[in-house]
Structure 1
Amino acid sequence: MDYRHLGRSGLVISEIVYGNWLTHGSQVENEAARACVRAALDAGITSFDTADVYANTAAETVLGEALKGERRESLEIFTKVYWPTGPKGHNDTGLGRKHVMESIDASLRRLQTDYVDLYQAHRFDVTTPLEETMSAFADIVHSGKAHYIGVSEWTADQIRAGAALARELRIPFVSSQPQYSMLWRVIEEEVVPTSRELGLGQIVWSPIAQGVLTGKYVPGQPLPEGSRATDEKGGANMIKRFMRDEVLERVQRLKPIAEEVDLSMAQLAVAWVLQNDNVSAAIIGASRPEQVTENVKAAGVTLPAEVMARIDEVLGDVVETDPARTREGMPRGRSVAS
């Protein structure tokens, strides 16, 4: 395992982060989840990413149990706040002060820790003044409940506004957590340059494009049993944007490239995102320990420039690059109980 600074901060994290979205408390039984976390630790992963909304808080609980007994100072634990949890009442969502302050305490209880290393705004809240949100984050940092703050799926303009308030409040705003892969490059035009200027690092999710970049989905063939594309609990909905024949056909043409550099398709995909110098880490998930063991082999890999160019040539116009896609996925308002 290799380790990198998170942006320009002093926090060092493993360049492969273990994440439990769509797995712990949902797709994967608790015993298997613990085995995946053990495989991550054995592979040198020290950074773990979760969120209160994953499996409606169950994922945090499972991760807390799985990490129990580990030396806390040797781990970097990240979680997030925004989406509705619990009974989904009118203050159970968003980035208002009440929800943020109550959510951090609940997350800490579930994770069985006194603090998280990184507390992230899971989306931008268009219904709450940014000053209110950042003030709440500042109180959390100053109270010792979080060491650093970050955001997920914010636009470049939103990141810049948040960073300005963070400087005024003297809190370390250090990261962005966007979707990023060979197929989904919407951060490259605006978010990455802005983050580089401000000293933020990217902790990217879905580097394997929900499993599409493993090559297991073949045009015209039945979907593999038990795959994310067959998961009715949320996985199938998330992966559908990539499940077009034109995309799947291009992905199949990446196989010879992976073989030439002695990597699996998944390893190639993870190694590809790590070539971006603004990417501090890539998040991987797993339903089986062996998936962790295999995917961490992407750590420390340097892909030659000609390989990167060939990947671009193969994928061509199926790659999504429009930065407006980040804003399209942003909630227009908070969902509240009727």
Structure 2
Amino acid sequence: MQVSFACTDHGLKAPRNGEHSKQNATSPNTTSQARARFRTVALIARSLGSFTHRYHHNLKESTAKLTGMKYRNLGKSGLRVSCLGLGTWVTFGGQISDEVAEQLMTIAYESGVNLFDTAEVYSGGKAEIIMGNIIKKKCWRRSSLVITTKLYWGGKAETERGLNRKHIIEGLKGSLQRMQLEYVDVVFANRPDSNTPMEEIVRAMTHVINQGMAMYWGTSRWSAMEIMEAYSVARQFNLIPPVCEQAEYHFFQREKVETQLPELYHKIGVGVVSWSPLACGIITGKYENGVPESSRASMKPYQWLKEKIMSEDGRKQQAKLKELTHIAEKLGCTLPQLAIAWCLRNEGVSSVLLGSSNASQLTENLGAIQVIPKMTAGITAEVDHILGNRPHSKRDYHH
């Protein structure tokens, strides 16, 4: 259950000089009584559920006129993010040159993307450095960007990893230094930390927000139970709860995002920023006839991916993708565009992170925005029939 209420300035502002004696004569405790009433209403609303914006439904999704990019609220916070974001996991500082990284960020930004995601662990910190250099060079307005990073693996020393207070504060300072930024918009806890009490994690995240080092915080690869625990601790101690979860989501990975997280979205306002919409390239169709030499799966560090593709399950997935290609052709789009638009049909998904290694790939993936209106109930039912893996849920969360 959610409670929505309006708070006016009536009775909360200090009286003007000319009105002071008049107000004191009639009700000397007006201000304190009004504040007490507001606190009571706030506590009731908090105990029943999350705060909801009075006009939230009007802002649920808006479209940029020039680029066609769609924007959604990050969870039920007020932060507006592009429904497609740019991730930097295996590309920045790794697979691609700095020049290509700049080209990709420029294409994304000029296409209306405002969400750029990185992590302290990506390429040993190089991804943050490259992204920061590009932002500085391009002279983009900081206020037009939503920059996110993730903390957990910061270095080799015992004190340079985890979600203890020391590493959250020092790790975020290190990230800001590498990116040459005063703050990030969202800092994510990049996996749960069983060695650190939840209260310490939530207090540390609240601290970095209160210090102006971050605007919001979120989780990445946490279970629904762990997210709920963080929310409960925040409410118990009047701290700041997480606003979203970063989760893997694609045709072959559905359970968490479609059955566990929607309940959190409706109850406590935690949204989803999803990653790997193309399942590490499996959904591109390039592995239909095996593993090409130039592909990621052919590289030594990605032996696990090659084994996954060559397994019996992998072959079954390729057969299903071949069938899904017919749906994409019917809609006049590519298979990757269909896969990305399919992720965006879920109302709890605030943004889908794209990981591209070249300009044509990124441009193609950004074209998924044009496919979103074509994701009708009939089309999603066809996709479900082919995949045969729709998880059982309490509600249908499709548009």
Instruction: For 2:226, give the aligned amino acid.
Output: Q
Taking the aligned partners of 1:239 and 1:157, their CA distance within structure 2 comes to 32
Aligned residues between the structures: 316
Residue 215 (structure 1) shift: 1.4
Aligned partner of 2:248: which letter?
A: Q
Question: Counterpart in 1 of 2:304?
Answer: 237
Q: Which amino acid aligns with 1:14?
A: S
Q: In the alignment, what sits opposite 1:216?
A: 286
Classify the secondary structure of the residue corresponding to 1:177: strand
Match in the other structure for 2:245: 176
Matched, 1:202 2:272: yes
Alignment match, 2:329: 259
Instruction: Tell me what 1:111 maps to.
Output: 179
- Partner of residue 316 from structure 2, selected from 237, 242, 246: 246
Secondary structure at the aligned position of 1:144 is classed as coil
- Is the 1:95–1:125 contact (alpha carbons within 8 Å) kept by the matching residues of 2? yes
Look up the equivalent residue of 1:268 and give its one-letter code.
Answer: L
Please name the residue that 2:140 is paired with. Answer: 70
The residue aligned with 1:26 is 94
Distance of aligned partners of 1:74 and 1:133 in 2 relative to their CA distance in 1, 3 Å threshold: same
- Aligned position for 2:162: 94
Letter in 2 for 1:126: S
Corresponding residue SS for 1:210: coil
Q: Is the deviation greater in 46-55 or in 237-246?
A: 237-246
Q: 2:386 matched to which residue of 1?
A: 314
Which residue, 342, 348, 363 being the options, matches 1:272?
342
Q: CA deviation at 1:30?
A: 1.3
Shift of residue 151, structure 1, vs aligned partner? 0.2
Change (3 A) 1:210 1:98: same
* Aligned position for 1:156: 224
Instruction: Name the structure 2 match of 1:9.
Output: 77
In structure 2, the CA distance between the partners of 1:192 and 1:57, relative to structure 1 (3 Å rule), is same
Match of 1:289 in 2: 359
* Partner amino acid, structure 1, of 2:152: Y
Aligned 8 A contact 2:248 2:277 in 1:
yes
Given that 2:202 and 2:240 are in contact with CA atoms closer than 8 Å, whether structure 1 keeps it comes out as no
Higher RCO, Cα 8 Å, sep 6+: 1
1:81 matched to 2:148: no
Deviates more, 1:194-203 or 1:115-124: 194-203
* 1:284–1:148 Cα change, 3 Å: same
Deviation per residue, 1:206-251 (Å, 9 max, x gap): 0111111111111xx2412322212334x44357545511111111
Which residue type is aligned with residue 311 of structure 1? V
User: Does residue 1:143 correspond to 2:143, yes or no?
Assistant: no
Deviates more, 1:162-171 or 1:110-119: 162-171
| TM-score of the aligned structures, taking structure 1 as reference length | 0.89
Root-mean-square deviation over aligned CA pairs: 1.8
**Cα deviation digits, residues 122-181 of structure 1 (max 9, x gap):** 000001101111111111000000000000111111010111223333425210000011
Secondary structure of the 2:169 match is helix
Contact 2:230 2:241 (C-alpha < 8 Å) held by counterparts: no
Give the share of equivalent positions with the same residue, in percent. Answer: 38
Unaligned runs of 5+ in 2: 1-68, 394-399
2:291–2:306 contact (8 Å) kept in structure 1: no
Q: Given the superposition, is the C-alpha separation of residues 80 and 32 from structure 1 closer, same or farther in structure 2, using an over 3 Å criterion? A: same
Question: Structure 1 stretches of 5 or more lacking a match?
Answer: 324-338
In structure 2, relative to structure 1, the CA distance for the partners of 1:205 and 1:322 (3 Å cut) is farther
Q: After the TM superposition, which of the residue ranges 242-251 and 34-43 deviates more from structure 2?
A: 242-251
Q: Which amino acid in 1 is paired with 2:182?
A: D
242 and 281 in structure 1: CA distance in 2 versus 1, 3 angstrom threshold = farther
Q: In the alignment, residue 10 of structure 1 is paired with which amino acid?
A: G
Preserved CA contact (<8 Å) 1:268 1:298: yes
Distance 1:305 1:322, change over 3 A: closer
Task: Give, in whole Å, the separation in 2 of the partners of 1:252 and 1:166.
Answer: 47
> TM-score, length-normalised on structure 2?
0.76
Q: Secondary structure at the match of 2:333?
A: coil
What is the identity, as a one-letter code, of the residue corresponding to 1:290? S
Distance in 1 of aligned mates of 2:78 and 2:88: 25
Bigger proportion of residues as helix: 2
- 2: CA distance, partners of 1:322 / 1:124: 26
Q: Which amino acid aligns with 1:56?
A: G
Are the structure 2 counterparts of residues 202 and 238 from structure 1 closer, same or farther at C-alpha, using a change threshold of 3 Å?
farther
